Structure 1
Amino acid sequence: MVLLFVSLAMFGNYYVYDSLWPVVDLMRTQLDFSYQQIGWLSTAYNIAALMVLLAGGYIIDRWGTQRAIVVFALICLMAAVLTVISSRFEVILAGRFLLGIGAEPLIVAATTVLAKWFKGRELSFAFGINLSISRLGTASADWSPNFAGGLYATWHDPLWLATGVACVSVTAAILYWVAEKRATGRFQLATPSATEKLDVKSLYKFSASYWYIVALCVVFYATIFPFRTFAIDYFQQAHGVTREAAGLLSSMLPVAAIILTPLFGIWVDKVGRRSLFMAVGTLIMLPLFLAVTYLPAGPLVQLTIPFIGSEPVPLTLLIVIFMLGTVFSLIPAVMWPSVAYIVDGARLGSAYAMMTLCQQIGWAVVPLAIGILNDRNAAGPLNPGGYAPGMWVYTGLVALGLYFSFKLWQTERGPNGHGLDGKTMHLGS
């Protein structure tokens, strides 16, 4: 019950965040928003997330998970309401900022809940289920033009649907509180260790391999998530596909993550070669954004997702997005666990905190830059070439990632390696 309720709370959190992307074109036509303003709606979330990250887990430790998860779910609900109640850009921007304030601590609180309930009781399985249901929220937002197509006559009706999903998230959080309160004294729960604060003074002690992984993390997420911000609108404007087809295409990234990430994790644990996998994944990713820009669209093929919908899409787009979804599953499955193998366990909290901090900075900057480029180059259905400069930015970031992954592979093959390419290793070696 706890796993179900916490996962449903996360489902709503992810849905609300991603619900904005299918209405980008409607905001541009009905509200006259520029691409730069759309970029700000993504960046505002990350700026708020950075502020929360610097605060660490103090509030959660102080309030306890029961109160914290309900409060942060309520903040996400208020953010959803604030995003939809007004057509003024400043109000919608404030809603996205407030969502960042609530959503990031909600993720931390959910992680803490799982650690309390499942440590020593299939913790990895619980995390996997939670992540799968969370990613389903992202996919459902992409699918909403299919199952709720009647709402897409205006920009705000789909966001009212997202507000309803946020209510489900709050209800699930309250039910978790009730479930844990009733379980008090009946179950012996693990006590999570205190949240480790980011120790800036000791950062110079991290190895070169750690910083190469951090650099790869920054450019990888600064490419994938900003691309998703504009993806549905880009597919519509530059390639002439319907909103429903664009949503199905965009959803292939989270769907791939749900299915393939644990499978890649099992595979890499078995064969090792972690730094090599990261380099190969980045190499596969390198030509993809230029491919969707310059290659012929190819014939239309039917993309079908059971129980959701079936739409014709250009073959080139389908192949590229399928490969991007594969990379989106492979690199995180290797990258995040690798940190635990090269950083001492006592400093792992600082290592992940710094990695996440850097990730959010990159993620905050790129959507705004892409929005500015799209505006300056008059990108749109009458000028699809105007999207090309943004695609070159993504490609340049991936090229940087390929360099960092190569340096990681080179370092790990040398005398200062940590055995990332071995089959069996000790954590924090």
Structure 2
Amino acid sequence: MKVNTATFMALYAWYSWPNVVLCFFGGFLIDRVFGIRLGTIIFSCFVCVGQVIFAMGAICNAFWLMEAGRFVFGIGGESLAVAQNAYAVSWFKGKELNLVFGLQLSMARIGSTVNMNIMGWIYSRVQGLLGSTGHRTLGLTLMIGGVTCIFSLICALILAYLDKRAEKILRKEQGKTGEVIKLTDVKDFSLSLWLIFIICVCYYAAVFPFIGLGKVFFIEKFRFSSQEASAINSIVYIISAPMSPLFGFLVDKLGRNIIWVMCAVVVTLASHVMLAFTFWNPWIAMCMLGVAYSLLACALWPMVAFVVPEHQLGTAYGFMQSIQNLGLAIIAIAAGMILDSRGYLFLEVFFSACICLSLIAVVMLYFVNHLTGGDLNWSAKKREKLQKLAAAEKEI
């Protein structure tokens, strides 16, 4: 469609903009307004409609319409994830829940991997049928990709029926997110929590935008074919699919969350430096990035629950997702502008700088946690022992 990189990356930003606000209110809408069943169906419809608008924008060669489609898609996407988590919490408890969340993440990564590797093939087949390239071929390809969104909506309808049926048979309440959104809680957030937010924003800012631009990077720097570039660009998600549940189990058993996060950030920094300044086989760096990305997700997000009272968890996680989406929107646009004006070397230096900020925040978190007597770096055995003592004291 003859757009520059900055304009292309704006499509990622348009997905993130609505979620700067909606991350706060997605749980509230499901709990208090729609209910989990209707909420899931409504947000699935937003995803379907957004994808259709996005594809129609390509068919009509109207980039503004594609941006509108991404915005609508974003309204449904993140809130649908909240609804999915609410279903999981409603149906599974305890150790089962950890496995379910791990499998959810794995399935999402499998979907991303399939998308990266198959959409190019579909485009070539549509091109063969139409006998030409261009925006119409792209639009039809995106419309075919939208079939998965329709399948998601069908699953939401089936799940609503099954949940309604179980509610009658088991006499169980409809699932809720459990989130209580109070913006006034933000003023009570500890320094440790703010450092966790900084780690989250700076780390993911150097991962997701890089993957968005990675295919062309591997074609230009390493002279890969389009298919080879798609394969190596998707390896992060391929590794994440099986490793996320395994790392989740490992962190649960060993504890020491800050150390694991620090290891993940250091390995990610090493992978970006390798990609920026060497011509070593990029499969090495991308495999390192995949392992580190999986480890960080399993060690970082649970730490919020260790530093925030239970009644503030909804606000804390909502705020964390909100500033993550804000950071991704801004960084996506900045990355496109840097690539257009300076090239891939400067872009990799920029991503490395983001990871360095994340590393500084991890080191600060380690010392703040140590000086305040926090439990973020306790072993799992110590944490379990103290939790049992606390529970015993409450009973007394």
Q: Same fold, TM exceeding 0.5?
A: yes
| Other structure's SS at 2:301 match | helix
Aligned to 2:339: 374
**Partners of 1:36 and 1:370 within 8 A in 2:** yes
2:19 alignment partner in structure 1: 49
* Structure 2 match to 1:10: none
**For 1:252-263, what aligned pairs fall within 5 Å after superposition?**
252-263=235-246
Q: Which has the higher helix share?
A: 2
Partner of 1:354: 319
1:217 to 186, 200, 203: 200
2:393 aligned partner = none
* Mapped contact 1:52–1:101 kept (Cα < 8 A): yes
Superposed CA deviations along residues 364-391 of structure 1, whole A, max 9, x for unmatched, are 11010011112223xxxxxxxx211111
The two structures have a TM-score, normalised by structure 1, of 0.81
Question: Is 1:150 matched with 2:107?
Answer: no
Report deviation, 1:125. 2.7
Percent identical among aligned pairs is 25
Query: Which moves more between the two structures, 241-250 or 92-101?
Result: 241-250
Take 2:15 and 2:2, find their aligned partners in 1: how far apart are those partners?
21
What residue in structure 2 maps to residue 35 of structure 1?
Answer: 5
What does 1:207-246 correspond to in 2, within 5 Å?
Answer: 207-246=190-229
Using the alignment, how far apart are the partners of 2:176 and 2:164 within structure 1?
Answer: 21
Amino acid at match of 1:84: A
Tell me if structure 2 keeps the 8 A contact 1:276–1:421: no
Q: CA RMSD in A?
A: 2.2
Alpha-carbon shift at residue 59 of structure 1 (Å): 2.4
Is 2:46 the counterpart of 1:81?
no
State the shift of 1:147 in Å.
5.7
Structure 1, 387-396 or 198-207: larger mean CA deviation: 198-207
What's the TM-score, normalizing by structure 2? Answer: 0.87
Structure 2: which 5+ runs fail to align? 128-132, 391-396
Amino acid at match of 1:50: V
The one-letter amino acid of 2:97's match is L
In structure 1, distance between residues paired with 2:140 and 2:48? 16
- Structure 1: unaligned runs, 5 residues or longer: 1-30, 298-315, 378-385
What is the CA distance between 1:261 and its match in structure 2? Answer: 1.6
Q: Which residue of 2 aligns with 1:273?
A: 256
In structure 2, C-alpha distance between the alignment counterparts of 1:191 and 1:83, rounded to whole Å:
34
Which of 299, 305, 308 lines up with 1:343 in the alignment?
308
Aligned residues: 372
Question: Which of 64, 67, 80 is 2:35 aligned to?
Answer: 64
**CA separation of 1:67 and 1:202: change in aligned 2, threshold 3 A:** closer
- Aligned ranges 1:18-417 → 2 under 5 Å: 31-61=1-31, 62-85=33-56, 86-119=60-93, 122-145=96-119, 148=122, 149-151=124-126, 154-189=137-172, 191-192=174-175, 195-297=178-280, 316-377=281-342, 386-417=343-374
- CA distance 1:320–1:70, change in 2 (3 Å): same
For 2:340 and 2:159, the matched residues in 1 are separated by 45
Counterpart contact for 1:56–1:195, Cα < 8 Å? no
C-alpha separation between the residues in 2 aligned to 1:280 and 1:318? 20
Counterparts of 1:224 and 1:41 in 2: how far apart (Å)? 16
Shift of the alpha carbon at 1:87?
Answer: 1.7
**Residue identity matched to 1:423:** A
Q: Secondary structure at the match of 1:106?
A: helix
> 8 Å contact 2:244–2:294 — kept in the other structure?
yes
Give deviations 1:184-230, integer Å, cap 9, x for gaps. 41124355456434433332322222221111011111111111111
* TM-fit CA distance, 1:177: 2.1
Counterpart position of 2:130: none
1:188–1:415 Cα change, 3 Å: same
Query: Counterpart in 2 of 1:13?
Result: none
Aligned-pair CA distance for 1:145? 4.7
Please name the residue that 1:422 is paired with.
379
Q: By how many angstroms is 1:129 displaced? A: 2.5
